[in-house]
Amino acid sequence: MPRAILLAFAQLDDPAFRAPILWGVLGAVVALLGLAGLAALGLGWALEGWPGWLTAIIQFAGGAATLLLAWWLFLPIAVMIASGCAGPVVTAVERRHYPHVVPAGGAPLLHQAWWGVVFGLQMLALQILLLPLVLFVPLLGAVLAFIISAYAMGVGFFEATAQARMGVVEARAARRARRWQVWLLGAALAALAAVPILNLLIAVIGVAASVHLLHGGRRALQDRR
C-alpha cells in the first residue's frame, strides 16, 4: 500500500491530474461561498428588529460558526466533484505504469457518476454527524472520525476507480478481496486530509493509488497461479 501512495505522488506532474484538482477546489469554494451567503441572509432576516449590540454579537458568532463549518465540509465537497473527473486519472496511471493492460469496459457511466455523488454525500453526512462529537468529546471524537473517514475514503475511492474498469459486482468483490489494503489506503488519505494544501490532492491521490491496488492485486493473484 505505501508503494501505491508513493507512485501516486510521483505522478502529480501528469497533466491529467490537474483538471480534477482544479474542478474540485473551485466547485467546493463556490458551494461554500453559497453556504456562507445563505447563512448571512438567514441571520439578517432572523435578527431584524433586534438590539444592535446583540445583533453584532450573534452575527460574529454566526460568522465564526460558518467558517468552521465551511472548513469542515470543504473536503467532502471537493472530493465529490473531483471524483467525477476520475476517468482521465485512471487512464493516465495505466498508460504510465500498466501499458500491457487492455482497458476493459467498466460500469455504465451513469452508474459511475451516481456512485461519485453518493460517495460525496456519504462523506458530507459523516462530516456533519461527527462534528458535534469532535467538538464536545475531542479525543474520542477525533479517533472515531479518523476510523470512519478511513473506511469511507478507502471504500469510496477504490470502488469508484474499479468501476471504471469492471462492473459494479466485480468492483465490490475486488474491494472485499483487498479489504485491509483498502482500509490502509483510506487511513493514509484521512491523515493527508488533516494537512493543509495536501488535502486538496486527496481525490487524485486516492484514485491513482486505487489503480495501483487494483492492478497490483491482480498481478499477485496471477503470480500465485
Dump pLDDT digits (tens) for 19-39. Answer: 777 876 776 677 767 767 776
- Distance (Å, whole) CA 20 – CA 26: 10
User: Does residue 46 sit within a domain?
Assistant: yes
Beta-carbon contacts of residue 85 (< 8 Å; ≥ 6 apart): 19, 20, 23, 24
User: Does residue 13 sit within a domain?
Assistant: yes
pLDDT, tens only, 143-186: 888 888 888 888 888 988 888 888 888 888 988 999 899 999 99
Mean pLDDT of the chain: 77
- Cβ contact 35:74 at 8 Å: no
Could you give the number of structural domains in the chain? 1
User: Does residue 199 sit within a domain?
Assistant: yes
User: Does residue 22 sit within a domain?
Assistant: yes
pLDDT, tens only, 101-136: 766 666 677 777 777 777 777 777 877 787 788 778
Instruction: Output the CA–CA distances (angstroms, integers) from residue 154 to 1, 62, 160, 189, 206, in the order listed.
Output: 12, 34, 10, 8, 8
User: Does residue 45 sit within a domain?
Assistant: yes
User: Does residue 225 sit within a domain?
Assistant: no
SS3 of 155-198: HHHHHHHHCCCCCHHHHHHHHHHCHHHHHHHHHHHHHHHCCCCH
Q: What is the pTM for the complete model shown?
A: 0.74
State which residues form the domain around 143. 2-220
Question: What single-letter amino acid sits at 1?
Answer: M
